[in-house]
Amino acid sequence: MKKMKKFLIITAVIVGVLFLANSCKKTGGNINPLSSVSNLGVGAYLVLDSNINLNLNYAQIATSTVGIIVHEYPNGQPVDHVIIYAAAGSTYDTTQWHLVKTVSYTGKGTQLTVSGAELGQAFGVDPTTFTPGSFYTFYTRVVTKSGATFDVNNTGNNSGSGLVTGAYYYSAFSFTAYIVCPFTGGMAGSYTVIRDDWDDWSPGATVTVTDGPGANEVNLSQVYPNPSYGTLVNPLVVDVDPASGTAYVHKVNFGNYGGGYNMTAQGTGSGDNAGYVFSCTGYIKVTMELIANGPGGNGYDNGPTTLILQKQ
Domain(s) of CATH 2.60.40.10: residues in the chain:
46-180
For residue 177, with 0-12 CB atoms within 10 Å meaning exposed, 13-18 middle and 19 or more buried, which class applies? buried
- Residue 5 predicted with pLDDT over 60: no
- Between strands 252-256 and 246-248, the pairing is unpaired
For the chain, strand residue ranges (E) read 46-53, 55-57, 65-72, 79-88, 98-104, 110-115, 135-144, 149-150, 174-180, 189-196, 206-211, 217-219, 231-232, 237-240, 246-248, 252-256, 262-267, 273-278, 283-291, 301-311
* pLDDT value, residue 6: 38
* pLDDT value, residue 41: 67
Q: Is the model more confident about 31 or about 305?
A: 305
Calculate the alpha carbon distances from 195 to 14, 219, 284 in Å: 72, 18, 11
Q: pLDDT-based confidence at 75, cuts 50/70/90?
A: very high
Q: pLDDT-based confidence at 161, cuts 50/70/90?
A: low
Average of pLDDT values for 266-288? Answer: 94
Q: pLDDT-based confidence at 20, cuts 50/70/90?
A: very low
pLDDT in tens, 88-123: 999 999 999 999 999 999 999 999 999 999 999 999
Average of pLDDT values for 284-312? Answer: 96
* pLDDT value, residue 310: 96
* pLDDT value, residue 133: 86
Measured between its terminal Cα atoms, the distance across the chain in Å is 101
pLDDT in tens, 232-260: 999 999 999 998 999 999 999 999 999 99
* pLDDT value, residue 211: 96
Q: pLDDT-based confidence at 163, cuts 50/70/90?
A: confident
Q: Distance between CA 201 and CA 131 in Å, rounded?
A: 25
State which H helix or E strand residue 7 sits in: helix 2-24
Q: pLDDT-based confidence at 43, cuts 50/70/90?
A: confident
pLDDT over 70, % of the chain: 84
User: Among 15-24, 129-138, 159-168, 177-186, which stretch is predicted with the lowest mean pLDDT?
Assistant: 15-24
What radius of gyration do the chain's Cα atoms show? 30
Give CATH for domain 46-180: 2.60.40.10
- Residue 54 predicted with pLDDT over 60: yes
Strand partners, 199: none
